[in-house]
Structure 1
Amino acid sequence: MDILGYPASSVLSEMMFSAAGGFVKYTNSSSSVCDLKIKAVDEEFGFHQEGDFIIGGVFTIRAGTTNLKGTNSYMKEFYSADDDIRALLNVLVFRFAIHQVNQNTEMLPNITLGYHITDSYLDASVAVRNVLQILSGPQKAIPNYSCSREGKLVGFIGDHFSVTTIPMAQILGVYGYTQISYGATDYALTDRMLYPRVFRTVQNDHVHFLAVTQLLKHFGWTWVGIFTTNDDAGDKERDILTKYMSSYVICVEYTILFGVDTINDEMFDKTYETTAAIVKKSTSKVIVVPVSRCSRPCLPGTRKKFGSSIHKCCYECVTCPEGEISNTSDSENCIRCPDEEWPNKKKDQCFPKLVEFLSYTDDAISAVLSAVSILFCLLAGLILGIFVHYQDTPIVKANNRNLSYLLLVSIMLSFLCVFLFLGHPVDVTCMLRVTSFGVIFSVAVSSLLAKSIMVCIAFKVTKPGSSWRKWMGVKLSNSIMSVCSLIQVLICVTWLSISPPFQDRDIYTYQEKIIIQCNEGSVIGFYSVLAYMGLLAAVSFIIAFLARTLPDSFNEAKYITFSMLVFCSVWIAMIPAYLSTKGKDTVAVQIFAIMASSAGLLGCIFFPKCYIILFRPDLNTKTDLLISRAK
């Protein structure tokens, strides 16, 4: 194979000879191993080729420097290791590229590129001297003079390391030459004000520091030590790396500095012992599986609490507050669960809240209330059947039996409306709940009010020449019942038209559950229904109380008075209980009030009459009623 027009073996031999500054022994044997023995000398390394335009090249070829113990002299050595072969290959690639450009007539027609290559020895002073040598020409280095008669110098390639690239850039910046480095990573070279003509084919050190920091964060290493050189570059690298780690909440426990100026066996042993002692005493670890941190990891369900240490990567673990979770380790903040969810006991997951309402299947009280409602409804139906069967008897005919039938039907419906309060509330049942029992009770209480008024009118009619006689009859009682009931109907219609009740989800009263309930919509509408019903009951109670001693057929006013007393007592007691309970307990209070007041009306008004009809038929005669009236 040929390289640059020459046999590959001769090119490599030439480069190795020049690099060594002396003789190279190349042994070609049947063995596959190539043994290179290169003598260390003090001669300069260099390649030079004339051209129309010259490109300077400063490469690190011989980089080994050791201090002779006890002296101030240095000996440069070149080792035949793989890394050094790669350094020579950089030079070979540079020459090959120049050769390819010169061979291509289309790239730079009628122009030939030349080069001047030197070795920096990884030494800043040598690199500067070589730059001045290239600027002056191939003979002798004379600052500010160019002794080259052929070709124009246009730029520089190199060096591989920042320690030599930066001083080169400082010299070349003064002369205005462009410089391209293929390995320098110092972040300072990104300053376009100081180094406007320096370009690189690699990333700067900050990218490496960021990669190291992200690697530490990935493994959870937040408590680490730093090893660096005891010079300006080491201090700068430590500061930059510490800054990046600080942004990821990674703290530095210690920093160990290594000198690079003079290193011998004695100093190395001393440094090693000091370093080993620091590492053994430290709490940060550098082994796999490494746990390198100053605080224990915060498990899911907890979060970090800072402030207990001067280092921000040291913290305490505290449990997430109520309603919040953390589902990852080492969380700095807890996450609040959505409104309709609640944390589990470990506080690492959010689960849907329990939904609560007065259910038919899950609540025993619902079964009890349903059974009692059906029982009393059947009892009211049975009494209605008895009254229909004995409709022609005096006790049933007394004081408008049609109002008695209407009152019994109203009581039956009031027991049945209990089922509107049970089960999962929806908008329709919410609108029917209060309006239904409000209208039904208004009809019932209006019927009792009409009965009480008729008792008073009946007593007035018994006086000779009374003007009340024209008010006697069923028309007045029916009119009173109808008008009073219609007013309640109008109140309910207005309420439903303006702001009707609707299904509501209460997510704030209880943290761990959602209450499905009916929202009244308009509080004024709700309490207007109750207030009007209470007004009817109060008026009925007063009139019945005043008429309780009047002679009447079976003296029904006494029982109306007592029934209204029970009715008012139940609903007055219901108001504070209703306001002090929440959720399904509130619904249970409403159902109890409806059932208790309905049962009070049924028992106080109709049980005495049924007793006479079924067990004392001798009292259910017109003669007995007249005797009672006469008394």
Structure 2
Amino acid sequence: MTSTQRWPDWGWELLQLLLIVSFSQAEELVCRQREDLKNPQLSNDGDIILGGIFSFHSSWKNRQDSYMYKPLPLECTSLNFREFQFAQAMIFAIEEINNSTDLLPGISLGYKMYDTCGSVARSVRVGLALANGNEAVSAPSEEQCTKPAQVQAIIGETTSSVSRAVITVIGPFYIPLVGKSGKYTYDSNCLFDKTKYPSFLRTIPSDYYQSRALAQLVKHFGWTWVGAIRGNDDYGNNGMATFTETAQQLGICLEYSVPFFRTDPPDKIGKIIDIIKASTSKVIVAFLTQMDMDVLIHELSKHNLTGYQWVGSEGWILDSQTAETDRHHLLDGAIGLSIPKAHVSGMREFILNVKSLNSSGHEIFTEFWETLFSCKFKQSESSTGNERECTGHEDLTGVQNGFTDMSLMPIFNNVYKAVYAVAHALHILKKQKKNSKINFHHILQEIKTINFKTKEGDEVYFNQNGDPAAKYEIINWQPTENGIVDFVTVGLYDTSLSADKQLKVQNNSLVWAQNSKQVPVSVCSEKCPPGTRKVLQKGKPVCCYDCIRCAEGEISNTTVLLTAASLFGTFMTVGVAVIFFSHRKSPIVRANNSELSFLLLFSLTLCFLCSLTFIGRPSDWSCMLRHTAFGITFVLCISCVLGKTMVVLMAFRATLPGSNVMKWFGPVQQRLSVLAFTLIQVVICILWLSISPPFPFKNFMGFKDKIILECALGSALGFWAVLGYIGLLAILCFILAFLARKLPDNFNEAKFITFSMLIFCAVWITFIPAYVSSPGKFSVAVEIFAILASSFGLLICIFIPKCYIILLKPEKNTKKNMMGKLYTIIISLQNNLRDSYCKITNTS
């Protein structure tokens, strides 16, 4: 066998490697770069260098790598003016700090800014470049091929996928990455996890709060059936996951949720178009970046998909470049969330001073200038000779494009605050460690505890998760007469407020899709009318159902009439109170203890209203409220009647010679007695609710084919104690009124109280067996009927006769007529006493 046949292939490779190593050792060791590495797109020297990661290009050319050869460098496309604005905002903050005598005096800040094109792979290389430097150097062989970049902190990228890639690379070095936008992830496995990503901070709230706010916004307008398009990256996928979870809790269903990325092939985008066309929902929630949204709108315009109400995330809702892309006005009336508006004096003028970007001397400026002014330089490779030639002295005045638009000033402000947060941390560390070396870990710890105000008064600080407080403005796209979209603030969402006050929307100032003033309707199924019930549609979400007629005895096919009776009783009681108040100085009102009369009318009003708590689907609060409210209000009512009865008895005893009983039952004692009787019932109710309160209950035992929704009593002893105490007071009141029914008086109130208590006791005695034997809704109806019947009995028996005299028989509303025989007795007694007094005087 030949030598070639005896050696395996790997043997020859090993032999070659050994020969190369031996030869290399014979020569002087030289570090060689494997490839040409890109320099920063924008840079400037300084004593301390800050890194910047921006997507100066929003996309790149797709190609199919065969893995047979080394892939070619990424070819970026679609120049993104927005990212140049972010870069300018960063440079503005750095130059402002360098010109300051208060912050980092004697120390200059520099910067190195790289373009990632929104690519995760490229962002990893950029992160490594900023961490250890990658500029090629022409140096003697004894020097290293690279030198440290001296980057003390990095102002982060916009998209979450890129940010996570960068922080994964630089995280072990504890280099602070301060994010400038909210498009970051927040679940336990991503950037929200500070044990995995301790060096990540941001100057804008986590999108976790934005997702929840979007769901609450959708719920606010009654949209329960919506479609969703999400960015196929961490920002879109995780944002939509939180939105979906919150939406389900709020009773909102998603008809579809499809991913989209700006580099998707046409056939995939076509499938999204087909899904939208086939859908029945009229609201689309778009959790996308501005770059993705621009591409999507361009595709939707080709199919003229109008009539949809768009709900947007912070990524695109306030972007005028997206509005310019929407030439067919598909997004008119869109509503969404944006970080609050901000203003930084001098920043707008600095950003528009584009010539300052030329100081970097890099080739990206040429592309930027040509795109900005739609011209070509002579030396440009892409120049065809048909375009206008660039002079380099073009004037930006009059140019209208994405770069001249300042609608994203709030995000520019976040870049500004991020740079200042790093500068303040460095300033403090320089004062604390004058001669000591400052490492990344020191800077990171100081940034986490920083708290300062910018020159505009904005407070900058980070919580334990490295986030600021979450606050959003609600933006509405309102088209103007000249076709330009006006971004109008129509509300606010603030997580620092209580849950019921976090969302505020000015509904009357909103414009909807197709310039409509009416809120769009987007539901899978309309609300079932009375007399029908829901039946879920097979294979569809719970928001989709059919309405079928209820079986006999299940539910009324009309609105519950007891509600009308309750409201009628309430208005009737209020009317009587108005009559009594307007005639409060008349004898009939004054003779029957006006103070207790008004308190009784107030308690009767509460009795009528408490019956409303028994109507509707049982809930935790309604079950606890209905019985306790009923028990307390009725005790207050009976206590007032009892007080009036005792006043009648005491009044007649007080007419006897030498009696001073009324001093023991004056107005103060009357109030205290009512309060004492009512407090006993309040204590009983508190004990009931504390030990074993009522609760919603699904009764499966009453019927084989029905589930009865009702309120379980919890503690039956508590329920019967409440009823028993009311019954005890009612019986006592009845006995006292019965004893006083024949007292000599033309208008003896005890007669009417006796009759009202007779009705009251009769109603509640018949209530007990009817309540026990009635299932489901009938037991509730029986209890409501008992409340209303007894309330009407008290109102009619005690007050209607008096109203009859006040309104129709005013001639009987006199003091003499009210007193009757008692009045004659009192006058006769007074005359006899006067005669006796006169005889004694004459004798003296």
TM-score normalised according to structure 1 size? 0.42
**Greater relative contact order structure (CA < 8 Å, 6+ sep):** 2
Whichever of the two has the greater Rg, that structure is 1
